[in-house]
Amino acid sequence: MKIRSKVLISFISLVILIALAIELLMHSFIQPQFAELEKTQLQRDIRSVENLIAQEARRIETTAHDWGVWDQTYTFIEDQNQDYFNSNLYPELNDDLELDFAFILNSQGQVIWKLERFSLQPSVFLPANFWPINHPLFNQPEVTATGLAVTSNGPLIFAVSKVTQGKENDPSNGILVFGRYLNEELIHTFREHTLQPISINTVKSSEVGLKVSFPSNMEAVSQVLLPLFNSSEQKLQVTLKIPRELNQQALDTIHAVTLLTFFSGLILTLMVYLFLSRHILIPIGRLNKQAEAFGQDSQSVQFSDSKRTDEIGALFKTFRLMANKILSYQRKLVQEKDVFQQASMTDQLTGLNNRRYLDTVLYESVNNQEGVIWQLMMLDLDHFKQVNDHYGHDVGDKVLQQFSKILQGCARHGDHIIRYGGEEFLIATRDQGYDTAEILAERLLQEMAETPLGNSDNSFHKTCSIGFFCFRAPMLISLDDLERYISFADTALYAAKNSGRNRWIGIQAKNGKIPIDHRSLIKLIKEQNVDIVSSESLSQTRIDWA
């Protein structure tokens, strides 16, 4: 008998077995799991609506912040100049910014300017012309804040921004309030985005959170209650109602079919199992074990032949041939991969690692190394352009190669040496202390002073400048973080060059305080919240951080 006939008989039997299994699984496992899946999906759907509201709030907040830190807005509150009014406060502004209203108030609560898309009824939360200075929107601690509020015109998404001159800790001379109502127009936009029957209204409630319920087998309801800025008794309620008709129809059909086949399936199951075991399952199981073993260790597994003359025997033979071909291709791929990977991460001139190595191997080395101290060292040959101009680019290339050899000779085994670009190089080391970079930098300066560069006819000495940044690695960092830390080492390098060259300057993060950007690094340096080390005495040398 051909295997196709055997498989056909097996499939017919399995259909009956599956019919019985469906009923059992529906009552004991699948039906509750299906309800949980429905609940999870409803939670995702309602959270997606909540996220849309949050995204709209962030958009309005960003717009308010941009206008609030604009120095021309600050000046407008002071002098209410007509040029600013004509250029920026035009009647279509709310349509362009997708807002329903905008207010600009001075620090005394007087409305300097307002614009409304449609006639709004003044309220305690949104007075028409004068706001009391004890209004809660005047007392926000942050520069910009956003939230939801209830008004006589309906629920509202608002953002408030203090008006400053755009600098940190600048005083404010007023506030700017932008808002958009959660009206039918905005709700319709949310419906089009989510393809869900969304309804939004305010209700009296002391609870906040998400709730999913199944009032019946025909309907599912998910709701989320969001806090309102100006009311502790009311909440914004977002509701989704989803029909469940297909679920009930499917259950009724499954019950009817499985009841008819249940008893006959019990007897037939045993017969089918014995038949499949002898003719198909056992041979295929043996082949499957060999395939699994081959997948775990392809080098040590050999597929055995079968004496059968049907398709199972042919399958054994085919698997054996296929395994031999896979092993051959695998060996070739490994060889080619090693060659290409090495070439893609190697600088052709110096033989050192390149920027691609930084984004792959070095990043993986720094990442997931919580508690390990890393030193990122940037090096630059001083006045290298003079070498190319005076001796030619061939000599310049040779100097770069000689400099690379010096770096390799001074660095430890396991340190990462990278040609960062041009005459700039990067060395990344890790250790249990912060002094490794200082020792390496001092060794490099000494080696540069003692080693002649160029060729035998035109030998000369060059110096280099070094800057490094030391930090204790967090558990996880991104490529952006790594680039930021390298930029801090670059800052130290340029400080060394600006302070006289042929020296090293290092920055060591204290107490886990790692700056977020160059500006904050300079601030921490001025506040002496990072350790500065140098080859020169800090008390006798002024470091130029420009």
pLDDT (tens digit per residue) in 95-134 = 888 999 999 999 899 999 998 888 878 888 888 889 998 8
Residues 239, 148 share a domain? yes
Burial-class residue 68 by CB neighbours within 10 Å (0-12, 13-18, 19+): buried
Number of domains the chain is built from: 3
> What would the DSSP string read from start to end of 218-250?
TEEEEEEEEEETTEEEEEEEEEEEEE-HHHHHH
Residues 499, 386 share a domain? yes
Q: What is the pLDDT of residue 297?
A: 66
Q: What is the pLDDT of residue 2?
A: 57
- The tens digit of pLDDT for each residue in 373-404 reads 889 999 999 999 999 999 999 999 999 999 99
23-27's contacts with Cβ under 8 Å and 24+ in sequence apart are 23/254, 23/255, 23/258, 23/259, 23/262, 26/251, 26/254, 26/255
Residues 445, 330 share a domain? no
137-146's contacts with Cβ under 8 Å and 24+ in sequence apart are 137/175, 137/177, 138/109, 138/175, 143/65, 143/68, 143/69, 144/61, 144/64, 144/65, 144/68, 145/61, 146/57, 146/58, 146/60, 146/61, 146/64
Q: What is the pLDDT of residue 5?
A: 62
Residues 516, 426 share a domain? yes
- What average pLDDT does this structure show over 446-471? 91
Residues 415, 322 share a domain? no
Least confident of 274-278, 424-428, 429-433, 489-493: 274-278
Instruction: Let me know if residue 540 belongs to a domain.
Output: no
How many CB atoms sit inside 10 A of residue 388's CB? 15
- The tens digit of pLDDT for each residue in 176-198 reads 999 999 999 999 999 998 888 99
Is pLDDT above 90 for 21?
no
Whole-structure pTM value: 0.46
Q: Give the whole-number percent of the chain exceeding pLDDT 90.
A: 35
Instruction: Let me know if residue 101 belongs to a domain.
Output: yes
Q: What is the pLDDT of residue 220?
A: 87
Residues 224, 93 share a domain? yes
pLDDT classification of 539: cutoffs 50, 70, 90: low
Is pLDDT above 80 for 337?
no
- The tens digit of pLDDT for each residue in 244-303 reads 765 666 667 767 777 777 677 767 777 776 777 766 767 777 767 767 776 666 666 566
DSSP-assigned beta bridge partners for residue 373: 431, 472
Q: Return the higher-pLDDT residue of 384 and 457.
A: 384
Q: What is the pLDDT of residue 317?
A: 74
Instruction: Let me know if residue 435 belongs to a domain.
Output: yes
Integer Cα distance of 160 and 180 in angstroms: 12
Is pLDDT above 60 for 4?
no
- The tens digit of pLDDT for each residue in 512-535 reads 678 888 888 888 888 888 889 998
**The two three-digit tokens of residue 287, written as one number:** 């082949």
| Sheet of strand 209-216, all strands in order from the earlier edge strand to the far edge | 198-204, 231-243, 219-228, 209-216
pLDDT classification of 432: cutoffs 50, 70, 90: low
Q: What is the pLDDT of residue 444?
A: 96
Residues 243, 139 share a domain? yes
Residues 230, 206 share a domain? yes
Domain boundary among the residues 283, 311, 326 is at 283
- Smallest CA-to-CA distance from 176 within 68, 31, 21, 307 is with 68
* Amino acid residing at 115: L
Residues 7, 106 share a domain? yes
Residues 424, 395 share a domain? yes
Mean residue pLDDT of the chain comes to 84
Q: What is the pLDDT of residue 510?
A: 73
Integer Cα distance of 488 and 520 in angstroms: 11
Q: What is the pLDDT of residue 149?
A: 93
Q: What is the pLDDT of residue 304?
A: 62
Residues 501, 392 share a domain? yes
Q: Return the higher-pLDDT residue of 118 and 497.
A: 497
CATH code of 448's domain: 3.30.70.270
pLDDT classification of 367: cutoffs 50, 70, 90: confident
- The tens digit of pLDDT for each residue in 38-95 reads 888 888 889 999 999 999 999 999 999 999 988 899 999 998 888 888 888 888 888 8
Residues 310, 364 share a domain? no
Quote the domain boundaries for residue 423.
355-534
Q: What is the pLDDT of residue 436?
A: 87
Instruction: Let me know if residue 216 belongs to a domain.
Output: yes
- Beta 174-181 vs 154-162: how paired, if at all? antiparallel
Is pLDDT above 90 for 450?
yes
Q: What is the pLDDT of residue 102?
A: 92
Instruction: Let me know if residue 292 belongs to a domain.
Output: no
Instruction: Let me know if residue 293 belongs to a domain.
Output: no
**The two three-digit tokens of residue 78, written as one number:** 């002071």
Contact 470, 434 (CB under 8 A): yes
Q: What is the pLDDT of residue 284?
A: 73
Instruction: Let me know if residue 97 belongs to a domain.
Output: yes
Output the CA–CA distances (angstroms, integers) from residue 31 to 14, 28, 222, 245, in the order listed. 21, 7, 19, 15
87-96's contacts with Cβ under 8 Å and 24+ in sequence apart are 89/113, 89/115, 91/115
Q: Which residues contact 366 (CB under 8 A, 6 or more apart)?
A: 374, 428, 473, 477, 482
Q: Give the whole-number percent of the chain exceeding pLDDT 70.
A: 87
- Beta 504-509 vs 530-534: how paired, if at all? antiparallel
Instruction: Let me know if residue 290 belongs to a domain.
Output: no
Instruction: Give Cα 332 to chain centroid, integer Å.
Output: 36
- Beta 464-472 vs 504-509: how paired, if at all? parallel
CATH code of 76's domain: 3.30.450.220
Q: What is the pLDDT of residue 34?
A: 74
Contact 159, 179 (CB under 8 A): yes
Contact 390, 500 (CB under 8 A): no
Q: What is the pLDDT of residue 248?
A: 67
